[in-house]
Structure 1
């Protein structure tokens, strides 16, 4: 296990360096700069801004300075929000993204997994057909369409829910539904298919033939093994949801990381784009590592790193 963790940590470090380097290169390949506007900025002001943020240094010097900042967890200043650092934007935006993200994850796990199990146990019944129809609908309808419909009907026409922000408990309902729709449907379908496959295995038939109670067969053997592919999906999903949905946060005007990222792309705010990308990449990689470690707890037969 120790050697496995060491290898994974080294690979994580290499991956972060590659992602940071590629992002840095792409940002400086795009025509224009962070201070390029529709109305041209006077040359003197542009030179002054470039000098202030060291953008007139050679690219290799800028790259080394940025990497040096990463080591000390300094993501640099925001070019579009004067006087604000990228660290400040992430610190202020992540709580909002995490709030709707955690609620969405709870909905996905608490609703999606039981629905998938029930649908598998009730295969080819009206309940199974209904659950699969709703799950298919949730996968095919984009999240921004769901968000728009919620704002139009539940907020605009009926006035049941706030249309923007996170000021009241009711204001969380719209973003959570829109954010969890696709993943909830996918987890339901994945759980159902995995559960059906496990129920056809010989060890399930043997357990039932030996007189083991059905609840024990389902809980200790079927569901436990059926969750392995589900957890494989849930790990990266958690990283994606917690770090913010770019579209959903923009539609509901939620001041989260996703909204800041969209604004930074529009304003060509290099440091914010790179900072959010690195933050997302690290979060994603860590969640994948935790998923790999969780395999060993769910199924002791799975050994990590060639352990015997």
Structure 2
């Protein structure tokens, strides 16, 4: 091999190495770690009112892109005033603007107006109020379990988990005159109560997380629960199983946070209401014995893993 051929071979080798290095460099290009990052904004309400969420992209939440500026405006209901923001942001201003650099949880607190303008705190009658749905009785933040309050001439007892269970066991109170805002657990509440037919239509269930076995084998119960707030409930296992006559419309219940519906209507002989609009994103497949040996039509079954419009 002469020296020219030798030099030509070296040149080809160097060009080949350069091409390989370039290819490897291209493969190892870094990816922008900030691309498509979103954060969740959770707004809770204490009292009566609402919160308007606005950002420059016309997104109303609850998920916002990193760095978004979100304007929050607290809007009190009639007879209420905005008090303060609590949670990850503590401010008295309204409206406020926050930057979404992390997931955030805020509570907008509304208080009753002082109707008589005497600057005194709310009277005992204002410990409770009628919800905007015109039916549910709720406790205000200044109330506590054991308080007795009057609304429209009717006396109500404010209860928590322990007091409510004691009353049900002893059967000492009219259950329709209980305010259950502070109750978080209603599991097995009326289990095997085969003769009890309580009027609990106006109960406040907005803070309840567990309703498992609540009406299990409550064979005579057929009350109206259509306006119950089930937005925080995670467990409805065997809730209406083996009920004899229950057949009320609960198709508008908020089930977005429910994780377990095993046996919910198992052997529910009479129930046949449309549940196809239920939002059940946390239950991807039909739960075991969900409606076995029941009267529930297959057309009325929820669409598992979805949240219908």
Q: Per residue, is there more helix in 1 or in 2? A: 1
Q: Normalising TM by the smaller chain, what interval?
A: under 0.3
Relative contact order higher in (CA < 8 Å, ≥ 6 apart): 1
- Per the normalisation by structure 1, the TM-score is 0.23
- Per the normalisation by structure 2, the TM-score is 0.23
Choose 1 or 2 for highest CA Rg.
Answer: 2
Q: Per residue, is there more strand in 1 or in 2? A: 2
